[in-house]
Amino acid sequence: MAVLKSLTAQALAESTRRTLAYYNQHAEDFFAGTQDHDVSQNMAAFLQFIEGASPFTLLDFGCGPGRDLKAFREQGHLAVGLEGAARFVEMARTYSGCEVWQQDFLALDLPGSFFDGVFANASLFHVPSQALPRVLAELHATLKPGGVLFSSNPRGNNDEGWNRERYGAYHDLASWRAYLTAAGFVELTHFYRPPGLPIAQQPWLASVWRKV
């Protein structure tokens, strides 16, 4: 499993600093542009695999301004957000009414075996590939035994770098499987989005995984 790009410690820190600065600067525009996005397919794919009785304890990893966090709460779940951009943290707390932790993806402090599921919608692709094994291990550790991880990322040809002041790593399915399997997850399903289009017009790779 090859690292897409080797970064110095300074470059790793810069990947976070500049990305979060972008989201802080554009927080209101981002919220307005994404508030009405329909991610019900992602939520349903995630929740259907969580075992046990609802309500579930869920972590919305990279919750942004709180759209999905609010939806989980309205469904009756105990939802906690995690977000690095300070402006998003403020917005998510107000909009969702949920607890939101401000944490850098590269400096996580998560409770062990606490969550039934982790919902990482359009967030993990911001983790540089060389840091991804550690981040996935930390998400694995915060899940209860048998817990479920959902991820949705813009797919690519295993390249990474800057896109409008945001750092991103763009994996294909084989690469993503290799990282998740190495972290101790087993694949439950995957699909491409938006639904109902030819695969060439589906830039998002969604996948669901169980902790083993």
pLDDT above 90 (res 6) = no
pLDDT tens readout for residues 68-109: 999 999 999 999 999 999 999 999 999 999 999 999 999 999
Mean pLDDT of 194-208: 95
pLDDT at 4 over 90: no
In which band, very low, low, confident or very high, does the pLDDT at 37 lie, cut at 50, 70 and 90? confident
Amino acid at 2: A
Q: Which tokens is 93 given?
A: 């707390």
Q: Work out the widest C-alpha separation in the chain, in whole angstroms.
A: 45
Q: Whose CA is closest to 82, among 53, 114, 50, 37?
A: 114
Which residue matches tokens 């790793």? 12
Average pLDDT, the chain: 96
Residue 3 has pLDDT above 70, yes or no: no
Distance CA 19, CA 197 (A): 30
Domains along the chain? Answer: 9-32+40-211 (3.40.50.150)
Count how many residues are written for the chain: 212
What pLDDT score does 107 carry?
97
Please compute the mean of the pLDDT values over residues 166-184 and round it to a whole number. Answer: 97
Report how far residue 27's alpha carbon sits from residue 202's, in angstroms, rounded to the nearest whole number: 25
Strand order, beta sheet including 185-193: 99-102, 78-83, 57-61, 115-121, 143-154, 204-211, 185-193
